[in-house]
Amino acid sequence: MTTLDSSKEIQKNNSEVNETHEDFRMFGLITFLIADGMTFAGFFAAYLTYKAVNPLPDGAIYELELPIPTFNTILLLVSSATFHKAGKALLKDKNSESQKWLFFTAFLGIIFLICQLFEYFHLPFGLTDNLFASTFYALTGFHGLHVTLGTLMILIITWQSRIKGGRLTSQNMFPLEAVELYWHFVDGIWVILFIILYLL
Amino acid sequence: MTISIDPQKTNNESLQPKGWLRYFSFSLDHKVIGIQYLVCGFLFYLIGGTLASAIRIELASPMSDFMPRDVYNQVLTLHGTIMIFLWIVPVVNGAFGNYLIPFYVGARDMAFPRLNAVAFWLIPPSGLMLVASYFVEGAAQAGWTAYPPLSITTPQSGQIIWIMSVLLLGGSSIFGGINFIATIIKLRRPGLKLMRLPMYCWAMLGTSLLVVLSTPVLAGTLILLSFDIIANTGFFNPVLGGNVVVYQHLFWFYSHPAVYIMVLPAFGLVSEILPVHARKPLFGYTTMVFSIMGIVVLGLVVWAHHMFTSGTPPWMRLFFTIATAFIAVPTGIKFFNWVATLWGGKISINSAMLFSCGFIINFVFGGITGVALAQVPFDIHVHDTYFVVAHFHYIVYGGTVFIIFSSIYHWFPKVTGKMLNEKLGILHFAITFIGFNLCFAPQHWLGLNGMPRRVAEYDPQFQFVNQISSLGALLMAISTIPFLINVFLSVRNGKDAGDNPWNALTPEWLTSSPPPVENWEGEAPLVEEPYGYGKEISERK
């Protein structure tokens, strides 16, 4: 990430107010992601408390099927790697290669969402069936919302890099780096969610 | 990588209306946004104050004869919500933070000017929505805490509007917090060391950390609560297997730090005001900084002291009692530092100073009752009584609102270039201080004798003391009048202030009043010692 460059450059044209300063948009994004992570932390805390304090009656315990979420975990981890590839390619000014990688990442995101919907339709419980069902849908749904937003943002920056003289070039990597950080964040949250919800 | 900052471009100055009209338009100038926060917050203060007067009129007699009981509950809920989310939090953070922080770090604007404008413009619509819910289909009536199952079983459209409004305001304050952290850490002018920042910057840094860490948890909780109301899920509904105590934990994880989100900026502001009017350096700068950070850390781990009667296990009570009592240490350090700053100073008695001293006095009372409430046996005795009401009004009104007024008197010359009338200001202070103490001091007695809060009817034996309290509330309502007259008269034909009427040393006074759009002609001044009062200029480093 080249944007977290600690060098301070202040230039001043004689009397006119025209200054440049260090780019701290990435700093702002990280702060925002900490805040977003706290929302998930609140959800996780609620879920774990319910698990510890409100045990469900015997008949209401559902065994979650593991294959789909495991496949989804692999999808997201692979997509983190492909996103990284896209960044590397853009840095070397290989725009079309970078676009291919970006597009592939978005494709993996869409597959993830389709798998999640497939899982939803084949689960034996609905949103309001019991407390576990409600927390399950709240957690995975809120994460799915993040994946949806991330996929949309990837498609937007892919489109941006297709425009000649557009906003995404090797000189202006910020949109790609920002979305990449967001995507890694969402992946990381999924791994925690997978462990807590499916494995624990 | 660097980005270029050109205020002329980012502000679109040629497109902005000139004169006072620019304060009512979409602007990216941090000074304009700060004033917008203040004026908007003050309008909501008037609404919330009217509701408070209605509550005190109702409580002047034991029966519920002024308004029906459910209307009383709605008024109570709206009063609490408006005062916290639309008056104190936006004003002490948004208004003064936006106006002062860029000056203090030597910048021409906040780190993210557009995000800043978005953060402000979320407030008026969500506030109006909240107030309008009263007229549409009954406002929320579960109190500002919206505890389930009450908030799930009472009429629901008002509660949903309440949730949406608080979510938007939470978003606004997260955006503001991100902006403040980036501005203070990253946008400092070269050569300005962290340990030379004015104290308000440190207070805002601590506050913003609390905002970023705790507000999202409230947002998540309210989303779950709205699912309970709309989709009939059972997160917090015991009938469906949910757990109401989980709501309380998550809610207070935000709302206890919210107390510090309101009070820490006030600590910062009073640390700016006292040295100027006492002509002495701020006593113990380093301890002040560390006590702020201590309050931030401790503030995040004491939330369950609001829940001693909610069936918390004994080990938890013990931990939260000790942690809460420990907050008295950094707060005490700050208190003694302010007193030491005043000690032997050349104190000028003016409205800003009076309000600050009023703050110190009231805050000691609020703090001492706070330590008392942290003790489990005492808390169980007075839980949900007027003792608690008195305690937190001493903190949030006697502390924060006094400092808001003090700051208005202190920075009004900078913002408008005119002085406020001191006689009207002192009258304002006298009525507010007497009214405030008359209103809330007797409520300690009411609470100790068992008068419950949040109810419209009470035992007739409490009538006399309640009437004294209502008389105090009337005085507080009246105290707004000299203030408003003062502001309107002074804006029109107040005495010209000059650039630096208080001979202060902090950087915002080193530019013209009102300041130009770019804050400074030429380079921002580097203030080596923002509190170097009482020294010759050559002695200052």
Per residue of chain B (541 residues), give pLDDT as tens: 455 554 444 444 545 556 667 677 788 889 999 999 999 999 999 999 999 999 999 999 999 889 998 899 999 999 999 999 999 999 999 999 999 999 999 998 899 999 999 999 999 999 999 999 888 878 888 999 999 888 988 877 889 999 999 999 999 999 999 999 999 999 888 888 889 899 999 999 999 999 999 999 999 999 999 999 998 888 998 888 888 999 999 999 999 999 999 999 999 999 999 999 999 999 999 999 999 999 999 999 999 999 999 888 888 899 999 999 999 999 999 999 999 999 988 899 999 999 999 999 999 999 999 999 999 999 999 999 999 999 999 999 999 999 999 999 999 999 999 999 999 999 999 999 999 999 999 999 999 999 999 999 999 999 999 999 999 999 999 999 999 999 999 998 888 888 899 989 899 999 988 888 888 888 888 887 888 887 655 555 4
Q: Are the Cβ atoms of B5 and A46 closer than 8 angstroms?
A: no
Q: Looking at the partner chain, which of B177, B216, B234 has a beta carbon nearest the beta carbon of A42?
A: B216
Q: Are the Cβ atoms of B185 and A27 closer than 8 angstroms?
A: yes
Residue B24, burial from CB neighbour count under 10 angstroms (0-12, 13-18, 19+)? exposed
Task: Report how far apart, in Å, the C-alpha atoms of B467 and of each of A30, B218, B455 are.
Answer: 53, 37, 16
Q: Looking at the partner chain, which of A8, A24, A36 has a beta carbon nearest the beta carbon of B216?
A: A36
Report the chain B residue with the minimal C-alpha distance to residue A5.
B1
Report the chain B residue with the minimal C-alpha distance to residue A32.
B178
Phi, psi dihedrals of residue B398, rounded to the nearest 5° = -60, -30
Q: Which residues of A touch B219 (CB under 8 A)?
A: 39
- Which residue's entry shows tokens 């709309």? B230
Q: B187 with B261: CB under 8 angstroms?
A: no
Interface test with B, best of A34, A58, A129, A134 (most B CBs within 10 A): A134
Structure tokens given for B382: 């007075």
CA distance B31 to B314: 50
What pLDDT score was predicted for residue A60?
Answer: 56
Q: Which residues of B touch A45 (CB under 8 A)?
A: 249-250
pLDDT by residue for chain A (200 residues), tens digit each? 333 333 333 333 333 444 566 788 999 999 999 999 999 999 999 999 888 887 665 555 667 788 899 999 999 999 999 999 999 998 888 888 999 999 999 999 999 999 999 999 988 888 888 888 888 999 999 999 999 999 999 999 988 888 766 677 788 888 899 999 999 999 999 999 999 988 87
Interface test with B, best of A31, A33, A61, A139 (most B CBs within 10 A): A31
Rounded to a whole number of angstroms, the distance from the CA of B205 to the nearest CA of chain A is 13
* Among B residues 203-242, those touching chain A with beta carbons less than 8 Å apart: 212-217, 219-221, 223-224, 227, 231-235, 240-242
Q: Looking at the partner chain, which of B112, B187, B216 has a beta carbon nearest the beta carbon of A21?
A: B187
| DSSP string covering B426-454 | HHHHHHHHHHHHHHHHHHHHHHHTTPBSS
Q: Which residues of B touch A135 (CB under 8 A)?
A: 235
A197: closest CA among A135, A149, A150, A141?
A: A135
The CB density around residue B68, as the number of other CB atoms within 10 Å, is 11
The answer to whether B298 contacts chain A (CB < 8 Å) is: no
The answer to whether B112 contacts chain A (CB < 8 Å) is: yes
DSSP-derived letter for residue B5 is E
Q: Are the Cβ atoms of A38 and B216 closer than 8 angstroms?
A: yes
CA distance B39 to B24: 10
Rounded to a whole number of angstroms, the distance from the CA of A124 to the nearest CA of chain B is 17
| DSSP string covering B155-179 | -HHHHHHHHHHHHHHHHHHHHHHHH
CA distance B510 to A142: 49
Q: Are the Cβ atoms of A23 and B8 closer than 8 angstroms?
A: no
CA distance B138 to B129: 12
The answer to whether B4 contacts chain A (CB < 8 Å) is: yes
Rounded to a whole number of angstroms, the distance from the CA of B46 to the nearest CA of chain A is 32
Rounded to a whole number of angstroms, the distance from the CA of A49 to the nearest CA of chain B is 7
Integer-rounded Cα radius of gyration of chain B: 23
Rounded to a whole number of angstroms, the distance from the CA of A190 to the nearest CA of chain B is 17
Q: Which residues of A touch B221 (CB under 8 A)?
A: 42, 46
Please name the amino acid found at residue B518: E
Report the chain B residue with the minimal C-alpha distance to residue A43.
B220
DSSP strands (E only) in chain A: 19-22
Q: A147 with A186: CB under 8 angstroms?
A: yes
Task: Report how far apart, in Å, the C-alpha atoms of B126 and of each of B81, B100, B168 are.
Answer: 12, 25, 7
Rounded to a whole number of angstroms, the distance from the CA of A176 to the nearest CA of chain B is 14
Q: Are the Cβ atoms of A21 and B2 closer than 8 angstroms?
A: yes
Give SS3 for B252: helix
Asked whether the ipTM of the predicted complex exceeds the cut of 0.85, the reply is yes
Q: Are the Cβ atoms of A174 and B1 closer than 8 angstroms?
A: yes
CA distance B187 to B98: 14
